[in-house]
Amino acid sequence: MAEIGVVEECSDPSNMAALRAAKNALRANIKKRIAALGEQEKLRQSDVVTRKLMVHPKYHSCQRIAIFLSMPDEIRTEKIIDDIFQKGKACFIPKYQSKSNHMDMVRLATALEIRSLPLTTWNIHQPSEDDEREDALATGGLDLILMPGLGFDKNGNRLGRGKGYYDSFLERCLKHPKGKPYTIALAFKEQVCEEIPVTENDIQIDEILYECT
């Protein structure tokens, strides 16, 4: 896999345009790499990542887990969600607000319930705005967040899709009495880069699970 070099961390406003350009170029590059993967390869790597998670000590010890509902260019999470319920853990999924970068993690009752949830403009299932559910941060907090993203580096830096949902949510987690949950990104190996451009507002993740080659 070819590695991609990017600009250093930058907080100077005069350099923010260059930073945004670097992020956008990297997003485009990673999207092309993922688009080149066949469906069977995506499923194969998803199974590898799922098996790695199943034997991870953090996954075994955590009881309140937040997980994303995967899009076609992301590691498939259906088997993980099934396992969360089989092990009797509490499962929380994102509920995005389309007009802001606010996201809550709300409780899912069963794995089968996902199919009946409305679709967002991104073609992701999520509870509707008037669907009142247990909010993770309003109750017992979270032990573990399984993170999506477009790109990651081995220093824990993450490249999202530019909306800031997860960074904003993690900032709120830092203020919760329980503190920041452990964060594990689930990724195709094509998403792992040499370096991700970051700002001081980007929050690092604890670990990345992917197929090592």
Tens digits of residue pLDDT in 141-170: 999 999 999 999 999 999 998 888 998 999
Binding residue per annotation — 44? Answer: no
Residue 159, annotated as binding a ligand: yes
Rg, the chain, Cα only: 17
Q: Is residue 1 assigned to a domain?
A: no
Q: According to the annotation, is 74 in a ligand binding site?
A: yes
The alpha helices in 87-160, defined as continuous H runs, are: none
207 within 8 A of 171, measured Cβ to Cβ: no
Confidence category of residue 76, pLDDT binned at 50, 70, 90? very high
Answer whether residue 85 is part of any domain: yes
Helix or strand run (H / E) with residue 147: strand 144-147
Domain that holds residue 100: 13-209
Question: What average pLDDT does range 85-99 have in this prediction?
Answer: 93
Residue 151 annotated as part of some ligand binding site: no
Residue 7: pLDDT over 90: no
What does the alpha-carbon distance between residue 194 and residue 185 come to, in Å, rounded to a whole number? 16
Q: Is 69 annotated as a binding residue?
A: yes
CA-nearest of 175, 149, 176, 151 to 163 is 149
**Is 160 flagged in the annotation as binding?**
yes
Tens of pLDDT, residue by residue over 116-150, are: 999 888 788 889 888 889 999 999 999 999 999 99
Look at residues 184, 191, 166 and name the one whose alpha carbon lies nearest to residue 73.
191
Is 161 annotated to bind a ligand? Reply is yes
pLDDT at 13: 60
Q: Pick the more confident residue, 120 or 84.
A: 84
| Residue 189 is labelled as binding a ligand | no
Q: For residues 57 and 184, what is the distance between their CA atoms, to the nearest angstrom? A: 12
Position 106 in a domain: yes
- Kindly report whether the global pTM for this prediction surpasses the value 0.95: no
Q: Cα–chain-centroid distance for residue 134?
A: 20
pLDDT at position 94, please?
95
**Would the annotation count 90 as a binding residue?**
no
How far apart (Å, rounded) are the C-alpha atoms in residues 176 and 5? Answer: 35
For residue 5, tell me if it sits in a domain.
no
**What CATH number should be reported for the domain holding residue 198?**
3.40.50.10420
Residue 26 is encoded by which pair of tokens? 């990297």
> 3 in a domain, yes or no?
no
What pLDDT does residue 4 have? Answer: 36
Structural domain contains residue 102: yes
Residue 16: is its pLDDT beyond 50? Answer: yes
Is the pLDDT at 200 greater than 90, yes or no?
A: no
Q: Which residues pair with 93 in a beta bridge?
A: 106
Least-confidence region, from 41-50, 115-124, 179-188, 203-212: 115-124
Is 210 among the annotated ligand-binding positions? no
**Range 91-125 burial, b when 16+ CB lie within 10 A, else e:** bbbbbbeeeeeebbbbbbeebeebeebeeeeeebe
Residue 163 marked ligand-binding:
yes
Task: Give the model's pLDDT for residue 162.
Answer: 81
Q: How do beta strands 103-107 and 144-147 pair?
A: unpaired
Number of domains in the chain: 1
